[in-house]
Amino acid sequence: MEQIRKPRGTMDITAPDIYKWRYVEDTVRKTADRFGFEEIRTPTFEELSLFQRGVGDTTDVVQKEMYTFEDREGKLFALKPEGTASVVRALIENGKCGDAFPIRLYYITNCFRYEKPQAGRSREFVQFGTELFGSSDAGADFTVISLASSVLSELGIKNVSLHINSIGCPSCRPKYREALVSYLEKNSAFLCQTCRERLKTNPLRVLDCKCEECRKVAAGAPKTVDYQCEECSAHLEKLTSMLDSCKTDYVIDPHIVRGLDYYTKTVFEFIAEGIGAQSTVCGGGRYDGLVKELGGPSLPACGFGMGITRLLLAMEQSGVEVPSPSRAALYVASMGAAAQLKALSIVSGLRQVGVKAECDVVGRSLKAQMKYADKIGAAKVLIIGDSELESGRAVLKDMTGSIGEGSQVEIETDRVAEYL
């Protein structure tokens, strides 16, 4: 029979990698909690229209990358390509838009995008994201940037830099867009095919095209910051003064754009060196228009998304050692059926009081059990046979060498917990 394989661009995550994933997830949760962000979990799939409106019809994500399907009633759904639209939908649907400001939420969620799989880019990936609602002050932008930066440093990621830009607001962006389109039209012969289309639908996105040729064109393009209204430039100035006063390094980078219409003012990315072409570990910004766009009140917001795979690549690049899982404190080896029953009862008792303990459930010989105990790295081994059952005493062997290699003591089998 032909072997069934996992879908292209998906992963099976097993030990020892799973410990790295859990370490990242735990660190992310702890850091988010320290910043007062609460977790939200939303469905894996949503109505297709949520993303068409929430992510934007002209974006690559919606046009080319979504996994859409029709259910048995003929309704159109999509697997979540990102987290923000769902969070906003949930906020509105559950009547939470009026909660005490700032509303701070985070999620760790699987996302699905039909992309060309490569290092740091897969079709199912896990995103850690945050959203802060209810503040138009630069302090909100600062908070999410600072949270992202704390996560990266908690994880031991070095060689990462913060790139910031402002893409203006509905009052100043049209003028910029006009200038950009006229510049891009003059240079359209040098753009890739995709960007020639983007030029008509989503010209800002040309600025973050990864093609060599398009990058050259982008380098000479007009900059958003030169077209900003007073409010937008004051916002950027306030944000950078906050970053300066908290000694957070950043660069103003005119190539950072998020091609969605409701992104306003601040956009930012954390870029890691040395993890290959997919070097943006975190992307975020302000999206003051989104809640209203999705049918809620006018509620300013900002946030970011971070791909866990890229965090793991950056950690590897930084030489981070993830703590390995705890090993068994005790392995109870047994000879014979009666001894196995005793071993099971000792192990059950220990597990109930929180001790990681194991015994044979395979039917191995004593020699094979000892070998297995060594393989799993059990700290101690207790050996039980007929005579030990009778006397109620058995040998507890130390496997770690911490109190002398292979040292052993005789103990009462019912009091083993005291010796661990």
**104 is a site residue for ligand ATP (CB under 6 A):** no
Q: How far apart are CA 123 and CA 103, in angstroms?
A: 31
Dig out the tokens for 235 from the structure. 């916002």
Query: Based on CB atoms, which residue is closest to ligand ATP, 78 or 328?
Result: 78
**Nearest distance from C-beta of residue 304 to ligand ATP, angstroms:** 7
* Residue 156: other Cβ atoms inside 10 A: 14
Select 122 or 135, whichever has its Cβ closest to ligand ATP. 122
By the rule CB under 6 A, 122 interacts with ligand ATP: yes
> Closest separation between CB of residue 326 and ligand ATP, Å?
30
Is 53 a binder of ligand ATP (CB under 6 A)? no
Which among 12, 25, 4 is positioned nearest to 322, based on CA atoms?
25
Under rule CB under 6 A, residue 10 binds ligand ATP: no
Q: Which is nearer to ligand ATP, 120 or 254 (CB)?
A: 120
115 is an interface residue for ligand ATP by CB under 6 A: yes
287 or 331, CB closer to ligand ATP? Answer: 287
Nearer to ligand ATP, 82 or 131 (CB): 82
Restricting to residues 198-237, which ones interact with ligand ATP according to CB under 6 A?
none
User: Please, what is the minimum distance in Å from the beta carbon of residue 309 to ligand ATP?
Assistant: 5
User: What is the three-class DSSP state of 305?
Assistant: strand
Cα 118 from Cα 126, distance rounded (Å): 15
Residues in 298-357 that interact with ligand ATP by CB under 6 A: 305-307, 309-310
Cβ atoms of 106 and 129 within 8 Å: the answer is: yes
Regarding 113 and contact with ligand ATP (CB under 6 A), the answer is: yes
Q: Which pair of tokens denotes residue 324?
A: 């390995």
Which among 121, 123, 120, 97 is positioned nearest to 110, based on CA atoms?
123
127 counts as binding ligand ATP under rule CB under 6 A: yes
Return left, alpha or beta for 295; rule: phi > 0 is left, psi -120 to 50 is alpha, else beta. left
Q: Which of residues 240-279 bind ligand ATP (CB under 6 A)?
A: 278
**Which residues sit opposite 332 in a β-bridge?**
359, 382
Q: What is the 3-state secondary structure (H, E, C) of 87-134?
A: HHHHHHHCCCCCCCCCEEEEEEEEEECCCCCECCECCEEEEEEEEEEC
Minimum CB distance to ligand ATP smaller for 108 or for 373? 108
Q: Is 143 helix (H, G, I), strand (E, B) or coil?
A: helix
Amino acid at the residue 370: M
**Total residues found in the chain within this entry:** 420
Is residue 121 part of the contact set for ligand ATP (CB under 6 A)? yes
Q: Is 281 in the site for ligand ATP (CB under 6 A)?
A: yes
Q: Least separation, in Å, of the C-beta of 41 and ligand ATP?
A: 18
| Distance separating alpha carbons of residues 380 and 330, to the nearest angstrom | 5
Give 113 or 397: the residue with its C-beta nearer to ligand ATP.
113
Q: How many residues bind ligand ATP (CB under 6 A)?
A: 18
Omega before residue 43 within 30° of 0, cis: no
- 74 to 93: interface string for ligand ATP, x by CB under 6 A: --------x-----------
- Nearest residue by C-beta to ligand ATP? 307
Question: Which residues is 358 bridged to in the sheet?
Answer: 331
Instruction: Enumerate binding residues for ligand ATP (CB under 6 A).
Output: 82, 113, 115, 120-122, 125, 127, 278, 280-283, 305-307, 309-310
